[in-house]
Amino acid sequence: MRHTRSGLTLLEILVAIVVLGVGIAALVGTSGMTSRMLGAAKVETRAAQAASSRMEALRLAAQSTSPRCSSPAFASGGPVLAGGMTESWVVAPSGKVRRVRVIVTYLTVKGTRTAELETSMSC
Amino acid sequence: MSQGRGRGYTLVEILIALVILLVVAGAMHRLLLSTQRLTRLQARQSELQSALRAGALVVANELRELGPHDLLRLAPAAVTYRAMRGVGFLCQTPTPTTLRVARQGFTGHRDPQAGRDTAYVLLAAAESTAVWQPLAVTGVSAGSSCPGAVRSGIGVTVPSTPALLGLEPGTPVRFTEVMELRLYQSDGESWLGARSVSAGEPVQPVIGPLAAGNGLALEYFSGAAIPTSDPSSIRGIRVTLRGQVDGGEREESLTTVAVLRNVARP
């Protein structure tokens, strides 16, 4: 009886080590997760900016001609690969107000993601 | 035998335990320190990312409202422009010194401000011969009243201008302020700064700190997306914001494009 109470058993120590290990792993895992999220945020922002820049380019093409919207550049296009992202855009073929949609597809560790932007442009 | 060993630890056992404890504690200390450093770095990086996003939004939104005639001075890291602050319509025939703008239908960031804004009143309505008369705003009374059903209005005092006589209610008025956006240094750090040129203000920090030297880059391009420095042919501006964390350990940049919306129809 006395003999068994004299110290910690191997099992107790193992359990303590496992608990400590889980704690430290969680701590280290947080940094890793934050790193991944920061990276993901960067890519998402890039995709959103790419979509917005494409939209602006289409707007520029639309207002570059007289009458408006007659530029061949103001039409559906893509896919264009730029900076690891695929951009494609759809422009309504006719009308006084044209619907314009830009789709940016990019690859993440969790698979393919898309960023979409839609607006109307007056012609 | 069992009694003798169960009572305590020997010196050797304690020493070994101490050494192991020290090694483990040392490793944990280093791990925690590096985690702390990394966490701080990540927090700064996240702050920088959101600052760049906000900056790109602010700069692009401010520039989009302009036309080529609103670009007054252009530089690779600075731009002076006539910023749109509000648009409204006259609610009664003006006197040579007073304009009354209907509150209903007035849109903009804020009300006109005396000593800061310039009112542009449309004198000739035909689009091809549009003449906008610039008038310095010398006084504003926000609580003015308009005649008829449209009650509330904004009274704007301007220097005496006979050309205002005879303008009809419904005449559009634009309020603008000359602004400058630039990269500027303060306390050894670079910031995106803005200042009202027409109010003679000093530069105020908007976003930062940004990378020194190339924290803000402005590229002006024409309708054919070719770089140009001729203000009248500028149709768009590419804005790049760059920032650094911990002396260049992490770098972030964001590029956005603003195509000028206030371009006369060709």
CB contact under 8 A, A34 and B39: yes
- A 94-123 residues with CB < 8 A to B: none
List chain B residues with CB under 8 Å of A58: none
The candidate with the shortest Cα–Cα distance to B57, out of A117, A103, A49, A114, is: A49
For A5-16, what is each residue's pLDDT tens digit? 567 778 888 888
Handedness of CA A72, A74, A79, A82 (dihedral sign): positive
For B162-205, what is each residue's pLDDT tens digit? 888 888 888 899 999 999 999 988 888 889 999 999 989 999 98
Q: What is the pLDDT of residue B266?
A: 46
Residue B70 has pLDDT above 70, yes or no: yes
pTM: 0.79
Residue of B nearest to A3 (CA): B6
A64 min Cα distance to partner chain B (Å): 6
**Within a 13 Å sphere around the CA of B1, how many CA atoms are in the beta-carbon half?**
0
Which of A3, A8, A53 has the most B C-beta neighbours within 10 Å, making it the best mutation to test the interface with B? A53
Averaged pLDDT for residues B82-108: 88
Tell me what ipTM this predicted complex has.
0.76
Interface residue A66 vs chain B (CB under 8 A): yes
Interface residue A65 vs chain B (CB under 8 A): yes
CA separation for the pair B52, B207 (Å, rounded): 8
Interface residue B41 vs chain A (CB under 8 A): no
